[in-house]
Homo-oligomer: A and B are copies of this chain.
Amino acid sequence: MVSDLEKRILEYIEANYRRFINILSDLIGIETVSAWKDNNVMKKGAEVVATLLKDIGFRAEIRSYGGHPIVLGELGKGPKSILIYNHYDVQPPDPLELWSTRPFELVEKDGKLYGRGVADNKGNIAARLGAIEALAPYLDELGLKIKYIIEGEEEIGSPTLHKAVEDLKQWLKADGGFWETGYVDRRDRLRIPLGFKGMVYIEVILRGASRDVHSGLAPLIPNPVWRLAKFLTLLKDPNGRILVPWIYEDIEHLGSEAEELLKELDIEELEKLKKELGIREFAEGLNGFKALRKLHLEPSLNISGLYAGYTGKGSKTIVPSLVGVKIDIRLVPGQKPSKIIDRFKEFLKENGLGDAEIIIHGAYPSGYTRPSEK
């Protein structure tokens, strides 16, 4: 049964729906790609988010801890408080040619909204702010205080968030907290994630000559691509099986409780995923429960990007002066990012790539709540 309060709130949302969509449209229009490190754009993104909070009545401020700014907001008196985390940054829109709409323009088509950040996570910010706005007149009546922290570096591994957490330890205390992604499964059941994998994002660069050289000289000029290719075959086989045992070190198994929950997931979604992505077989020929287990409870090792020499259209004849690979390793409970990074570096050295340049783009451990945790 819908209470009177609920009814009023739902009516308010209905009446203001178009305006909420316009707010999302404004958010999508700001190109807050954290990986591009355009400080002016990120600052503008934070300012717009802070203004949106203030418009609803939040006491809001913007802070920086050496990276892209973080927006903080507080609404209501409590005594109970809830903490919401989110981020206003997005992933780069590349490859642009695969977009059928402009990435930074909100487009409505067949009842769906398209634009970079609609699903991750500006859509959630706009929806949540709409809900809070509708709820705002009743917060005191409900005895609720809302704290909102919205950062700008989630997509690059939140490199300065830990400093904010350290600094704001007192302020962040709350009776409950969440980060929303808001997906439902194909049976319309809400997904409530109880944790997330950790991440180590490593870029490895190998160099040959000090500049690209005409490939007429190829018999003489060392091409770093051959060295990298050999190294990559030591990490994974062509079927996607991880070959380095150190990826599986220190895993703290979540036990039968987690496995039981996995069984409640819809295994048929895997088949639908295959169809949607045009895949005949999953990596390693995985299927069914084994696939779900690997997906949710095991670490992973992936190449997100690879580049050397001429990558444009047509041909150019050069020996590339460098080759780079972007590798993301996802960690499960028990695994420490710093140890995985050390292992990775050792492995490079053991295999003759001690001269490689290494850039760590992100490193954070996994986080989780046990299903039975109170």
Partner of A305, one of B34, B211, B286, B320: B320
Would you call A220 and B305 a contact (CB within 8 A)?
no
User: With an 8 A cutoff between CB atoms, is A94 at the interface?
Assistant: yes
Would you call B306 and A225 a contact (CB within 8 A)?
yes
User: With an 8 A cutoff between CB atoms, is A66 at the interface?
Assistant: no
B-contacting 9-mer, from A21-29, A130-138, A139-147, A235-243:
A235-243
User: With an 8 A cutoff between CB atoms, is A64 at the interface?
Assistant: no
User: With an 8 A cutoff between CB atoms, is A43 at the interface?
Assistant: no
State the CA gap A230–B231 with chains docked (Å).
10
Would you call B157 and A286 a contact (CB within 8 A)?
no
Given contacts A277-B211, A309-B326, contact A201 B304 (CB under 8 A): no
State the CA gap A282–B35 with chains docked (Å).
36
Given contacts A37-B314, A306-B306, A362-B315, contact A216 B240 (CB under 8 A): no
State the CA gap A277–B295 with chains docked (Å).
45
- Residues A10-61 near B (CB distance < 8 A): 34-37
Q: Would you give the shortest CB distance from A338 to chain B, in whole angstroms?
A: 18
- Which residue of B has the minimal Cβ distance to A98? B211
Would you call B315 and A283 a contact (CB within 8 A)?
no
Partner of A277, one of B36, B213, B237: B213
Would you call B233 and A230 a contact (CB within 8 A)?
yes
- Residues A174-233 near B (CB distance < 8 A): 197, 199, 201, 203, 208-213, 215-223, 225-230, 232-233
**For the complex formed by this chain, how many copies does it contain in all?**
2
User: With an 8 A cutoff between CB atoms, is A105 at the interface?
Assistant: no
Would you call A303 and B314 a contact (CB within 8 A)?
no
User: With an 8 A cutoff between CB atoms, is A352 at the interface?
Assistant: yes
For the residues of A in contact with B, the DSSP-based class is: mixed
- Chain B residues whose C-beta falls within 8 Å of the C-beta of A316 in the assembled complex: 35, 91-92, 94, 155, 304-305, 326
Q: Would you give the shortest CB distance from A280 to chain B, in whole angstroms?
A: 9
- Chain B residues whose C-beta falls within 8 Å of the C-beta of A212 in the assembled complex: 95, 98
User: With an 8 A cutoff between CB atoms, is A245 at the interface?
Assistant: no
- Residues A309-351 near B (CB distance < 8 A): 309-320, 323-324, 326, 328, 330
State the CA gap A87–B281 with chains docked (Å).
49
User: With an 8 A cutoff between CB atoms, is A261 at the interface?
Assistant: no
Would you call B226 and A238 a contact (CB within 8 A)?
yes
Would you call B221 and A279 a contact (CB within 8 A)?
yes
Would you call A309 and B304 a contact (CB within 8 A)?
yes
Q: Would you give the shortest CB distance from A312 to chain B, in whole angstroms?
A: 6
- Which residue of B has the minimal Cβ distance to A217? B295
- Chain B residues whose C-beta falls within 8 Å of the C-beta of A323 in the assembled complex: 306
Q: Would you give the shortest CB distance from A247 to chain B, in whole angstroms?
A: 11
User: With an 8 A cutoff between CB atoms, is A84 at the interface?
Assistant: no
User: With an 8 A cutoff between CB atoms, is A307 at the interface?
Assistant: yes
State the CA gap A155–B310 with chains docked (Å).
13
User: With an 8 A cutoff between CB atoms, is A255 at the interface?
Assistant: no
Q: Would you give the shortest CB distance from A238 to chain B, in whole angstroms?
A: 4
Besides A98-B212, A199-B317, 10 other A-B contacts (C-beta < 8 A): A35-B312, A35-B316, A37-B313, A98-B211, A208-B279, A210-B278, A215-B328, A226-B239, A238-B352, A304-B309
11 inter-chain pairs at a CB distance below 8 angstroms, sorted by A residue, are: A36-B312, A95-B212, A210-B279, A217-B273, A217-B295, A225-B232, A229-B233, A230-B238, A307-B308, A311-B324, A314-B361
